């Protein structure tokens, strides 16, 4: 007899997304999962109509699944907001969703079926597709396709030498996490706003195997909504101000995230020391070597724009970066942004003329 489908908690975090939140919630309610599924819609003290729209959508919901609507007492940002929302989850797995993205109707079904086949795994990575306003209708139509299936799957583990080691690959950015990732460790630290995915991935690796699924896109990620992951100040990402803003965001990303990454390394080493012994513990050495390398990279890049041309050239050489873009980034930021902006403005009419 096959194992029962797991209970899933669909956790959607929102903040000031009144333009997109309705579509995000509708894609959540459209899930064709046959197992137990609950919805947790959490708003991070929005100042626009996002929370009101959430309540309108939930009031119109005719289904019989458990729905939790909650709002933080103040703007807590991503890490603390995640802790707040997950505290309401009663499922064994967390399906994370963002307020400006769309989920395929089969997202929960594909993940739930995979968990039944591999009950030992602690996180699952799936494919996604970026979209903008220009191809939004196409993304919406594809999200309604219910015939998605698993083309290939691969179990990875840091403990089993017969299996490949899991790789933190942004090609599999959207993941589902077992609730143990939150229960076995402390809540996400306050400054983990930009590395919450790092925490969940590395914690999952320590707790058990990972599962990578090759499918049609199960998440359609909007990239032109001005969200915090881009750092842009205008819709024109080719403009001077947006280039500068994005680079300053990258600088902020590595600076704010360095301390949380140190905490992550410490908590994982402590967990392994307390829960694993002998050969099993020894097999984690390669994993921690990679984590140390990631931490070193954060340390290098948090000083990228704070030091001079020589330092940036050393970073380019150290990480074997190639191409004109990385070469220009060795220059002072205003000069880099000015040249890049000019090159893009020249390239734009050339692109149009070749169509």
3-state helix, strand, coil in the chain (%, to 5): 45, 15, 40
Do 70 and 188 belong to one domain?
yes
Of 157, 192, 222, which marks where a domain is finished?
222
Residue 170 φ/ψ region, left for φ over 0, alpha for ψ in the -120 to 50 degree band, beta for the rest: alpha
Domain presence at residue 265: yes
Do 265 and 203 belong to one domain?
no
Do 173 and 298 belong to one domain?
no
Domain presence at residue 235: no
Q: Which residues, including other chains, have CB under 8 Å from residue 220's CB and lie 6 or more apart?
A: 101, 102, 103, 104, 128, 129, 130, 131, 139, 140, 142, 143
Helix (H) or strand (E) holding 182: helix 180-183
Do 218 and 246 belong to one domain?
no
pLDDT attached to residue 229: 42
SS3 of 280, please? helix
Of 165, 196, 222, which marks where a domain is finished?
222
Predicted confidence (pLDDT) at residue 205 exceeds the cutoff of 60 = yes
Tell me which of 205 and 353 has the higher pLDDT: 205
What would the mean pLDDT of 115-139 be, rounded to a whole number? 93
C-alpha distance from residue 49 to each of 40, 56, 219, 226, 276 (Å): 18, 11, 24, 17, 49
Report the distance separating Cα 187 and Cα 79, nearest Å.
9
pLDDT attached to residue 43: 98
Q: Which of 35, 38, 52, 39 is nearest to 13 (CA)?
A: 39
Do 263 and 318 belong to one domain?
yes
pLDDT attached to residue 221: 93
The pTM of the full predicted model, rounded to 2 decimals, is 0.90
Number of domains in the chain: 2
> 233 pLDDT band (50/70/90 cuts)?
very low
Q: Which tens digits make up the pLDDT trace of 18-68?
A: 999 999 999 999 999 999 999 999 999 999 999 999 999 999 999 999 999
Contact, 200 vs 185, CB < 8 A? no
Do 256 and 159 belong to one domain?
no
Q: Which tens digits make up the pLDDT trace of 237-288?
A: 568 988 999 899 999 999 999 999 999 999 999 999 999 988 788 888 889 9
Do 191 and 322 belong to one domain?
no
Domain presence at residue 275: yes
pLDDT attached to residue 239: 83
Report the distance separating Cα 127 and Cα 170, nearest Å.
10
To the nearest whole number, what is the mean pLDDT of the chain? 90
pLDDT attached to residue 53: 98
Of 222, 250, 270, which marks where a domain is finished?
222
pLDDT attached to residue 170: 59
Domain presence at residue 61: yes
Do 34 and 74 belong to one domain?
yes
Residue 12 φ/ψ region, left for φ over 0, alpha for ψ in the -120 to 50 degree band, beta for the rest: beta
Most confident of 167-181, 216-230, 314-328: 314-328
Do 253 and 280 belong to one domain?
yes
C-alpha distance from residue 18 to each of 21, 24, 26, 228 (Å): 6, 10, 13, 16
The parent domain of residue 340 ranges over 240-353
SS3 of 2, please? coil
Domain presence at residue 313: yes
- Looking at residue 165, which CATH number applies to its domain? 3.90.550.10
Residue 153's beta-bridge partner residues?
A: 213
Do 203 and 293 belong to one domain?
no
Do 301 and 255 belong to one domain?
yes
Do 102 and 204 belong to one domain?
yes
Q: Which of 102, 116, 81 is nearest to 8 (CA)?
A: 116
SS3 of 296, please? helix
pLDDT attached to residue 237: 57
Domain presence at residue 230: no
């Amino acid at each position: 007899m096959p194992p029962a489908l797991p209970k899933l908690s669909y956790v959607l975090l929102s903040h000031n997304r009144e333009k997109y939140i309705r579509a995000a919630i509708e894609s959540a309610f459209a899930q064709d999962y046959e197992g137990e599924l609950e919805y947790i819609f959490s708003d991070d003290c929005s100042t626009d109509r996002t929370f009101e729209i959430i309540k309108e959508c939930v009031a119109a919901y005719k289904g019989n699944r458990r729905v939790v609507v909650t709002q933080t007492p103040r703007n807590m940002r991503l890490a603390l907001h995640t802790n707040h929302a997950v505290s309401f989850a009663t499922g064994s797995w967390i399906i994370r969703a963002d307020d400006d993205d769309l989920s395929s109707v089969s997202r929960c079904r594909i993940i739930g079926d995979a968990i039944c086949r591999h009950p030992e795994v602690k996180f699952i990575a799936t494919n996604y597709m970026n979209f903008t306003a220009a191809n939004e209708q196409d993304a919406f139509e594809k999200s309604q396709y219910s015939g998605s299936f698993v083309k290939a799957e691969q179990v990875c583990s840091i403990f089993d030498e017969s299996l490949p080691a899991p790789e933190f690959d942004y090609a599999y950015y959207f993941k589902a996490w077992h609730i143990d990732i939150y229960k076995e460790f402390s809540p996400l630290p306050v400054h983990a706003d930009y590395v919450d995915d790092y925490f969940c991935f590395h914690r999952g690796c320590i707790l058990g195997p990972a599962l990578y699924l090759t499918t049609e896109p199960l998440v359609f990620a909007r990239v032109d909504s001005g969200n915090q992951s881009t750092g842009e100040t205008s819709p024109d990402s080719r403009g001077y101000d947006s280039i500068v803003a994005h680079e300053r965001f990258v600088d902020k990303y590595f600076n704010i995230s360095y301390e949380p990454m140190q905490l992550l390394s410490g908590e994982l080493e402590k967990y392994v020391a307390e829960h694993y012994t002998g050969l099993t513990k020894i097999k984690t050495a390669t994993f921690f070597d990679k984590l140390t390398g990631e931490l070193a990279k954060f340390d290098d890049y948090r000083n990228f724009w704070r030091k001079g041309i020589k330092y940036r050239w050393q970073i380019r050489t150290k990480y074997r970066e190639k191409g004109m873009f990385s070469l220009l980034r060795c220059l002072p930021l205003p000069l880099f942004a000015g040249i890049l902006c000019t090159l893009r403005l020249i390239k734009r009419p050339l692109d149009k003329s070749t169509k």
